[in-house]
Amino acid sequence: MQLTQQSRWLIVLTLLFMTSLAQAAFDHRHTAWNTLLNQHVVLITQGHASQVDYAGFKADQAALKSYLDRLSAVSEAEYRRWSKPQQLAFLINAYNAFTVDLILTRYPGLKSIKDLDSVFQSPWKKAFFTLLGQERSLDHVEHDMIRAPGVFNEPRIHAAVNCASIGCPMLRNEAFVASTIETQLDDSMRRFLADRSRNRFDAANKTLLVSKIFDWYQDDFAKGYQGFTSLNATFARYADVLGDTPQTKDAIRKGGLNIRYLDYDWALNATQR
């Protein structure tokens, strides 16, 4: 069968269009962000916490902007075609990357993200970036998109989104990706609960001294999402990293312990120079 000139051109144009779509496809490996995190996040306290080299990020600000622009270019229609793990990885990475970007607007002239507070709004309520075609704030991404009832129902995100503060669970030195997000979320919880500066067991008083995060978001750990039914059940689930001896681990697994919330450290989670 012979093709007409018009048919040939149609085939060529179709192939060019498909090639263009393939080239424009979103990188669900988040390679650019992963590279930046690898280069500018330093693990400390045996990998249970991290510090961020904001000076390094500032030197690589063009690469960060390129990644942020790619996040902002994703349409809501494209996002809705993705799997749930792809969507969740996208939102967590977006939250963390835009938080770094926000810090860089004043770095090195700030000691805490709260230094960005104004009379009119907190840094978390400021709409300073575009995501899925709308102006968004960090609060909107966390509370209205990630924590929206019935969407992900994933309490472990509280160990994944990072508020640029020492008191916050660590910023990982790798991007979240759909294929490993389950493992990464659980690992983030384990690392956070293993950090004795933020979570520990006072055996003498049978009291768990834990991060204020568990006070702010205790309802998320009590709704049965992902098997989390209460704070005591949550801590029992991670007793092997929250306890330091076989006896304390057993006590945490049995539950019924007193819970006290530690003061939150809002100092910037920057590398010490």
Pair (172, 225) in one structural domain: no
Pair (78, 108) in one structural domain: yes
pLDDT of residue 103: 98
* Last-in-domain residue among 154, 169, 195: 195
What residues make up the domain containing 44? 26-195
Asked whether the beta carbons of 68 and 98 are under 8 A apart, the reply is: yes
Residues 128 and 141: their CA atoms lie apart, in Å, by: 12
Pair (180, 204) in one structural domain: no
pLDDT of 258 > 80? The answer is yes
Pair (188, 114) in one structural domain: yes
Q: How many domains does the chain have?
A: 2
Pair (85, 99) in one structural domain: yes
| 1 occurs within a structural domain | no
* Last-in-domain residue among 168, 195, 222: 195
pLDDT of residue 20: 42
Q: What is the mean pLDDT of residues 198-225?
A: 97
**DSSP state, residue 180:** G
| 228 occurs within a structural domain | yes
Pair (205, 251) in one structural domain: yes
Pair (188, 203) in one structural domain: no
- Following DSSP, what letter does each residue of 36-79 receive, concatenated? HHHHHEEEEGGGTEEEE-HHHHHHTHHHHHHHHHHHHH--HHHH
Asked whether the beta carbons of 167 and 265 are under 8 A apart, the reply is: yes
| 217 occurs within a structural domain | yes
Average pLDDT taken over every residue of the chain:
92
Percent of the chain with pLDDT over 70: 90
Pair (190, 203) in one structural domain: no
Cβ neighbours of residue 103 under 8 Å, at least 6 residues apart? 54, 110, 113, 164, 268
Residues 52 and 170: their CA atoms lie apart, in Å, by: 9
pLDDT of 11 > 70? The answer is no
Pair (228, 95) in one structural domain: no
pLDDT of residue 230: 96
Express each pLDDT in 16-31 by its tens digit. 444 344 346 999 999 9
Tokens of residue 157, six digits? 């995100």
pTM for this prediction = 0.91
Q: Which amino acid is at 18?
A: M
pLDDT of residue 24: 61
